[in-house]
């Protein structure tokens, strides 16, 4: 039996989505957010279900154009670099805060992926994270603990 790389990746994504859904149900919410239509675990739960459904569909449905992947031309260094950056991001987000750790993660990810135009690296990291944080904190009232912004006096 020969399994295509796309089906194998979909199976791995199905397993990952199941684990993600399990951990999303473990998210603790504040007592006043329990009955809210949207709280801290609503989007992760929907994302986990969507990952399960789409990966299951890709596994079950037949491939119209099977792909052959040449494993010799894949760039493993970039993949390992991104995995290391993600682990470091997970370690530093609680200490450094969302804004600083996410911005630095994006800058380093762009560099690992080969982007060399500093204007694009800057525009797609710090301002993008600031806008996203404003949307979460300012408009949706989702509090993100951020020691760095608290230290410089932007957030209370």
> pLDDT tens-digit profile of 109-123?
999 999 999 999 999
Tokens 């079950």 map to which residue? 60
- Is the torsion defined by CA of 84, 87, 93, 99 positive or negative? positive
CB atoms within 10 A of CB 92: 15
Give the H/E segment covering residue 113: helix 98-113
- Is the torsion defined by CA of 118, 122, 123, 125 positive or negative? positive
* pLDDT value, residue 69: 67
- Give dist(CA 85, CA 139) in Å, integer: 30
Q: pLDDT of 132-147, one tens digit each?
A: 888 888 788 777 777 7
For the cut 80, the answer to whether the pLDDT of residue 61 exceeds it is yes
Spatial contact of 100 and 155, defined as CB atoms under 8 Å apart: no
Tokens 């449905």 map to which residue? 61
């Amino acid at each position: 039996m020969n399994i295509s790389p796309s089906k194998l990746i979909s199976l791995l994504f199905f397993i990952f989505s199941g684990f993600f859904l399990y951990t999303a149900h473990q998210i603790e919410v504040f007592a006043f957010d329990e009955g809210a239509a949207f709280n801290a675990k609503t989007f992760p739960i929907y994302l986990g279900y969507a990952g399960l459904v789409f990966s299951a569909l890709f596994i079950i449905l037949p491939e119209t154009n099977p792909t052959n992947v040449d494993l010799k031309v894949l760039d493993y260094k970039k993949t390992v670099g991104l995995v290391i950056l993600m682990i470091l991001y997970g370690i530093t987000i609680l200490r450094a805060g969302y804004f600083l750790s996410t911005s630095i993660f994006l800058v380093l990810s762009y560099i690992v992926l080969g982007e060399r135009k500093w204007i694009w690296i800057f525009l797609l990291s710090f301002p993008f994270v600031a806008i996203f944080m404003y949307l979460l904190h300012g408009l949706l009232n989702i509090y993100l603990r951020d020691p760095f912004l608290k230290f410089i006096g932007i957030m209370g």
